[in-house]
Amino acid sequence: MRRKQKKALIRIIVAAVLMVVLGLVSHFTNIHEYVLFALYMVPYLVVGYDVLWKAVKGIGRGQVFDENFLMAFATIGAIVLQEYTEGVAVMLFYQIGELFQSIAVGKSRKNIADLMDIRPDYANIEEDGKLVQVDPDTLEPGSVIVVEPGERIPIDGVVIEGESSLNNSALTGESLPVDVGPDSPVNSGGINLSGVLKVRTTKAFGESTASKILELVENAGSRKAKAENFITKFAKYYTPAVVAAAVLLALAPPLARLAMSLDPLWTQWVYRALTFLVISCPCAIVVSVPLSFFGGIGGASNAGILIKGSNYMETLANIRTVVFDKTGTLTRGNFAVTGVHHSELEDEELLRLAAHAESHSPHPIAKSIMAAYGKELDPSLVSDVREISGHGVTATVDGHEVAAGNNRLMTSLGIPFHDCHSIGTIVHVAIDGEYAGHIVISDELKEHSKEAIARLKEAGIRKTVMLTGDNEAAAKQIAEYINVNEVHAGLLPADKVTIVERLLQKQDKREALAFVGDGMNDAPVLARADLGIAMGALGSDAAIEAADVVLMDDDPLKISKAVRIARKCMRIVKTNIWFAIGVKFACLILGALGIANMWIAIFADVGVMVLCVLNAIRCLFVKKL
């Protein structure tokens, strides 16, 4: 608690004790009216002097609708009506509300600051064989820094010496450590777990990942959601309207009664008008709505999901259609051996021979076969390599004549082969003139792609669409396997925009469409969709720039998580808005009818605010979604 808050708490306690004692004393004894008034002024002034002072200053500046003025007016009014306890109590609860709000907001600010505590304070550089801590802001790109175990990497760079594993969970939400060695790129914000690393920085501190993420999250609140704009507008009209209603309530009924030559009952109507003033502050909603968004955005970023503004949070919650660009989001985007079929030999032996035969080829297919074999190649085993362009390769490997290539190669060699029903590129292998099976190479589906689609459907996404430049057959098979509703294949980049536009036209106005891409070459589509989501953005500035929502790692499961976070946040925002407005209006009506007194009015003001703020804080907790 800050000093200001402590002081406020002490004032509240003192005033509360005095108020209760006075209440008891006046109940059991007969104190003269003036003495009682004087006694009640003590707790009133203790708890409310600053509000009164601010009200006076506010009047000087023409701020009549200021909360301080309204509170001062309502409480002084109550005291004039000789409702001393209520006058003091309203001021007291008002101050409790203010204190609570300031503590709650301060706490969640701190919570989020802790969650986002990824900005390193220093960098180590070597000077005369000793490590010196310097301000990372002063280092130029290309400097060499040393990161010891347990330290945070301060600046993006490339490892030049040392091996270690990194915990990037502050950036991606993924706690599995990542192994790094010489030439591995590293991002600021990650924690070095085991070995000492020497890193050559590639960026300035301010341009590094950690700084960028922080900047993004801090600025997210500036892009306001519709709900926030609604609240600002509402607050602007609400207070003056309630005050006007109060004036009307204080004057109209008594005057009407006078005209009918009844007793005007001035006290009663003025009292009812004063209860209006107590309910006139829109604080509950005004504080809880931005707090909810701030909490939701903070919680999401801790899970590796960056939402660039409250407005995007709102759109995210309304998504009913998700369009995927296949490569890089549902599939890994790198070619790999996904199967070895009809092999007469051990799969590994087939791969060994094929890998050696292909060892001189720079082709990506050859590379993926070598990667699948995974062991050191022995060049001395390979001779007589003959590359036949558009067909494949023949070579002598370890004493065997090996031919590896497509259907045409097999046909030209006169070797009968099994055609393959699998999707992808097929490399047939023949050994010593005999067919030995084939290797299937395709873009690997990500581990969680199927589950991700299922989760999205669970989360209420009605339509999932996959777009790809691949051929129809390959695309259909994947689409069926992961169970997307619609697939469009053989697309050029421009076609993707057209299809997204068509989908946008078809959908209901209240619904939204998200496009998920890797952010590298789909910027136009990301921009065209209601919401652009970029995946695998860690280390890619372009992706972070292009999208509205950024998933730091490339796990497609995060998409449904993001939707769930947004839904929860929006649900809380809406509940708060309707609850606060509902209770306030109910109390206004009851107050006008004389059923609700000032005690109920102060609940409508402070109680509702406390409840809304507590509810809003729930937005921070997104781990289990």
Partner 1 sequence: MKSYKIYVDCANCAAKMEEAVRKTEGIADATVNFMALKMNVEFEEGADEKKVMKKALKNARKVDDDIEIEF
Q: By the criterion CB under 8 A, which residues form the site for partner 1? A: 54, 57, 61, 63, 66-67, 98, 101-102, 105, 108-109, 112, 218-219, 221-222, 224, 232, 235, 281-283, 286-287, 290-291, 293-294
d(CA 329, CA 534): 9
Helix (H) or strand (E) holding 395: strand 392-397
Cβ proximity to partner 1: between 357 and 612 the closer is 612
Determine the Cα–Cα distance for residues 71 and 51; give it in Å rounded to an integer: 8
Structure tokens at 187: 């991002």
Q: Cβ of residue 174: shortest distance to partner 1, in angstroms?
A: 26
**Nearer CB in complex with partner 1: 308/496:** 308
Residue 355 or 577 with smaller CB distance to partner 1: 577
Return d(Cα 372, Cα 432) in angstroms, integer: 23
Whether the CA torsion 374, 378, 379, 382 is positive or negative: it is: negative
From the list 220, 211, 189, the residue with the least C-alpha distance to 299 is 220
d(CA 556, CA 346): 35
d(CA 128, CA 130): 6
First to last CA, the chain: 31
> Which of 66, 325, 518, 522 is flagged as catalytic?
325
**Beta carbon of residue 218, minimum distance to partner 1 (angstroms, whole number):** 5
Minimum Å distance from CB 142 to partner 1? 28
CB of 501 to partner 1, least distance (A): 30
Least gap, CB of 43 to partner 1 (angstroms): 23
Q: Which residues pair with 133 in a beta bridge?
A: 124
325 part of the active site: yes
Q: How far is CA 292 from CA 11, 448, 579, in A?
A: 30, 30, 15
Q: Strand 382-388 to strand 392-397: parallel, antiparallel, or no bridges (unpaired)?
A: antiparallel
What are the residues facing 401 on neighbouring strands? 396
Helix (H, G, I), strand (E, B) or coil at 412: helix
Please, what is the minimum distance in Å from the beta carbon of residue 532 to partner 1? Answer: 21
Q: Which is nearer to partner 1, 105 or 581 (CB)?
A: 105
Q: What stretches of 116-168 show up as alpha helix (H) in DSSP?
A: none
Nearest to 221 by CA among 284, 293, 289, 292: 293
Residue 450 contacts residue 469 (beta carbons within 8 Å): no
C-beta closer to partner 1: residue 162 or 221 = 221
Closest Cα partner for 49 from 65, 72, 70? 72
Nearer to partner 1, 6 or 502 (CB): 6
Report the residue number, 393 or 619, with the smaller CB distance to partner 1.
619
Nearer to partner 1, 307 or 393 (CB): 307
Interatomic CA distance for residues 625 and 620, integer angstroms? 11
CB of 226 to partner 1, least distance (A): 15
Decide: 359 and 382 in contact? Cβ < 8 Å.
Answer: yes
Question: What is the rounded distance in angstroms from the CA atom of residue 551 to the CA atom of residue 28?
Answer: 67
The CA distance from 569 to 377, in Å, is: 55
Nearest-approach distance from CB 61 to partner 1, in angstroms = 5
**Which residues belong to the active site?**
325
